[in-house]
Amino acid sequence: MPKARILVQGIVQGVGFRPNIYRLAKDNHINGYVRNLGNIVEIIAEGEEKDISKFSEDIGIKKPPISKINSMELEWISVDDNQTYEDFQILKSSADFSGTSVIPPDIAVCDSCLEEIFSISNRRYEYPFTACTDCGPRFTVINAVPYDRERTSMDKFPLCPDCMDEYQTVEDRRYHAEASCCPVCGPQVFLHGVESKNPIKNAAELLDDGQILAIKGIGGTHLVAKTSDDLPVARMRKRLGRSKQPFACMSPDVETIRTFADVEYLEEKTLLSRSRPIVILKKNSNYYLSPLVSPALHNLGVMLPYSGLQHLLFKYGAEPAYIMTSANMPGEPMLVKNQEIVEKLDGIADYFLLHNREIINRCDDSVVRFRGEDLAFIRRSRGYVPEPYDLSSLNKDLNVLALGPEIDVTFSLLKEGRCFVSQHIGDTTKYDTFLYLQNAIKYMMEITRTDGVDLVACDLHPMFFTTKLAHEIGERFHCPVVKVQHHHAHAAALGVDHGMDEMICIAADGVGYGDDGSIWGGEILHWQGKEYERMGSLMPQKMPSGDLTTKYPSRMLMAMVHEYYSQEELVELMKSDYIDYFQHGKREVELVARQLERDFNITITTSTGRVLDAISAALKICGERTYEGECAMKLESAAIEGNYKLEIPLKIKKRRGLDILDTSPILMSVLEHKSEGESISDIACSAQRVVAKGLAELAIRSADKVGVNVIGGSGGVFYNEAISMTIKEEIESAGYNFIQHQNSCAGDGSVSLGQVVVAVMKNLN
């Protein structure tokens, strides 16, 4: 009887793949077995040749909904093999196989499980941890591979007889559902320090009463408060020290979201997807939530419930939305251990809704927004991580670890052609976050069975903690460290997202260490894989006292216009119109003026972010950055109410062989229009647009020179919808193709992915 060995690789563990194979085998009259081999599913199929061929086709066509097949190999077994099979079986997983395991991400609770949760006659009625092979936690509960219950945090909860019967019945949707459990045998929720027979109901009542709760979830802990009342939001802001940063919120369904925000078709589809990210939506004309949820912005982040606990919270709660923000102090990792949650959030949360299941891997909520019909990942984390990028066409042999930048950090690990980009790590200048980075790297290497690395990649900046860590890891594994310029990595991440090997890239963001030692952030690069040529940029501008300028953008405003005024005139302008934007009043204004005049304690930057900050300060929209991107985000919100009817000059110069957009005349024009009493929204809209048109013009000129027909946009500035759409219009009207990030982040969250690409290309050549 013909026999074949089929090896399937991809997201095939923890998704009901083996029972699905069993059912397909029965349908096609196949005997043999299926089992996990560490990173792969092995199938031995015995039957008629036509049946085996049909069986193989069905594997790819009729796979489980959350599985993903990256490769499938069929090898016919020699007729000399005399072993025969009388049935088809699912064998126990084997760990005796080297290779790269692909663990599925956490998936939102499915409709079938929700039906059980809300069915009063079901034994899982109101049980918040209800899950099956089609839904529930994966990445956040797994300790090791292969993905079996004994290697997850569910191992501490032995299955009761009823659950065991489901677990062992192939036809049941909970067959080998490793997170399966029920109220008898599974984890339990409790209100810390409070006697309660229904802790979720009591938690909802406390929230509706205005209390702040810390609620432990699947991959971390949220701080939760009602949104219909200013007082709880203000109290949360004061306790966290986040005076202005927007809070994400959660609503029970799309219909409720539509009562306060606009929801377009693609946004709704994303909200309802299995990944359930936070989606940035525009507030509508009927917006009635507290303005303190997302102060001075035209949009806010909203998500739908993705766990049973969250659905139950809305069953008992009366609010249209609850704030759901990560429970951590700014820059630090989310809290996941009960004792730490209670201790570190003492004085911040009033009550604690906790559970006794361990979170193995913390994983922040993902965040996306749309620019027209183009989706942009702001943070790629829960619901997507650790699904890898396929870089097998680039290299299948090298193990490469890339550590990203320093603030908005992810790391990436390339193994056997699969690039695993980590969950959001955060600000590695914070000690706890730096430790979290190291622990997450250790875990990712273990889960992918990576014993060592051949290359370590990092940012070009010599003082980043990630750069120093890269050298330590390089010494540990006796391998080279490849330094990659920040915007080169941005371009490479965008290129691999689209399968490109050459383009003109507009790299526009806040800060990136340039190869000339200055701070870049408004660059036109001719990207060609391992190499790039800088072909243009924004005008280099002075930053008095360096990083202090990023916090107080009035300093940047002074720097950008100081050559148009005498020192006395500039000081008088700042004192009369912007004195509140200087911490130390008149003395500080005079000091900054002298710094600019004498070039003392000055950093040079071409940053687009700093230009947008200066415009925001000039229009008195934002005078102090209290969170990343605040000034530019508020400028975007002001601009959305205006139109671009005002004339603002677009001047491109030659400087040291580069095309340069002179940004100082833009700021001078902004000040002039403001003094003439023009609408702030119109000025903001017009100024934003001319910056976008200037970047597009620089890119078009560069593309003309080198004969490249693709222009891409990367960097945090491309989260701004108006700027992105203007650049797209300008470039496409000039006859070029314009591309943006699709499955990776425009911001620094995908820098590590780009570092991997560049490091491999440099090593191969």
Q: Model confidence at 68, in pLDDT bands (50, 70, 90)?
A: confident
Q: Considering only CA atoms, which of 103, 100, 128 is closest in space to residue 114?
A: 128
Phi and psi at residue 152, in whole multiples of 5°?
-130, 170
CATH number at residue 272: 3.90.870.40
Which pLDDT tens digit goes with each residue over 121-163?
999 999 999 999 999 999 999 988 777 899 999 999 999 999 9
Question: Pseudo-torsion of CA 490, 491, 497, 503, nearest 10°?
Answer: 170
- C-alpha span between 722 and 728 (Å, rounded): 10
pLDDT value at residue 324:
98
327 with 392, same domain? no
The tokens 């081999």 sit on which residue? 37
Model confidence at 629: pLDDT above 70: yes
Model confidence at 81: pLDDT above 80: no
Q: Considering only CA atoms, which of 621, 728, 557, 543 is closest in space to residue 244?
A: 621
pLDDT value at residue 67:
85
86 with 220, same domain? no
Per-chain mean pLDDT for the chain:
94
**Beta sheet of 88-90, edge-to-edge order:** 68-76, 3-11, 40-46, 31-36, 88-90
392 with 471, same domain? yes
258 with 356, same domain? yes
Residue 642 forms part of a structural domain: no
353 with 300, same domain? yes
Model confidence at 99: pLDDT above 60: no
309 with 406, same domain? no
List Cα–Cα distances, 192 to 219, 314, 316, 354, 450, in angstroms: 19, 20, 19, 7, 40
Residue 419 forms part of a structural domain: yes
The set of residues, in sequence order, having a beta carbon less than 8 Å from that of 94 and lying 6+ positions away, is 35, 36, 37, 38, 146
With a pLDDT cut of 90, the percent of the chain lying above it is: 88
pLDDT value at residue 638:
97
Model confidence at 98: pLDDT above 60: no
Q: Model confidence at 765, in pLDDT bands (50, 70, 90)?
A: low
Residue 217 forms part of a structural domain: yes
Query: Which tokens in the block code for residue 624?
Result: 């102090």
pLDDT value at residue 80:
66
322 with 389, same domain? no
333 preceded by cis ω (within 30°)? no
**Residues 253-276, mean pLDDT to the nearest whole number:** 98
List Cα–Cα distances, 149 to 92, 157, 181, 589, in angstroms: 12, 10, 11, 63
Q: Which domain holds residue 297?
A: 189-367
Task: From 470, 490, 510, give the residue that closes a domain.
Answer: 490
List Cα–Cα distances, 306 to 81, 167, 379, 557, 691, in angstroms: 49, 23, 17, 44, 40
Task: From 345, 367, 389, give the residue that closes a domain.
Answer: 367
With a pLDDT cut of 70, the percent of the chain lying above it is: 98
409 with 339, same domain? no
Query: Which tokens in the block code for residue 29?
Result: 């009259």
**Would you tell me how many other CB atoms lie within 10 Å of the CB of residue 526?**
21
CB 334 within 8 A of CB 221: yes
List Cα–Cα distances, 255 to 252, 443, 588, in angstroms: 8, 40, 51
pLDDT value at residue 372:
87
pLDDT value at residue 256:
98
Model confidence at 62: pLDDT above 80: yes
Residue 76 forms part of a structural domain: yes
Task: From 73, 90, 107, give the residue that closes a domain.
Answer: 90
Q: Model confidence at 79, in pLDDT bands (50, 70, 90)?
A: low
CB 573 within 8 A of CB 583: no
Model confidence at 604: pLDDT above 70: yes
Residue 744 forms part of a structural domain: no
Residue 743 forms part of a structural domain: no
- C-alpha span between 667 and 554 (Å, rounded): 12
Residue 288 forms part of a structural domain: yes
Torsional sign, CA 271, 276, 281, 285: positive
pLDDT value at residue 95:
60
Which pLDDT tens digit goes with each residue over 544-584?
999 999 999 999 999 999 999 999 999 999 999 999 999 99
CATH number at residue 444: 3.30.420.360
Model confidence at 376: pLDDT above 90: yes
Which pLDDT tens digit goes with each residue over 176-210?
899 999 999 999 999 999 999 999 999 999 999 99
358 with 390, same domain? no
pLDDT value at residue 411:
98
420 with 457, same domain? yes
Question: Pseudo-torsion of CA 72, 77, 82, 83, nearest 10°?
Answer: -10
Residue 389 forms part of a structural domain: yes
548 with 592, same domain? yes
CB 743 within 8 A of CB 497: yes
List Cα–Cα distances, 425 to 58, 430, 757, in angstroms: 39, 11, 20
Q: How many domains does the chain have?
A: 4
Model-level pTM greater than 0.85?
yes
Q: What is the DSSP letter of 95?
A: -
pLDDT value at residue 393:
93
303 with 403, same domain? no
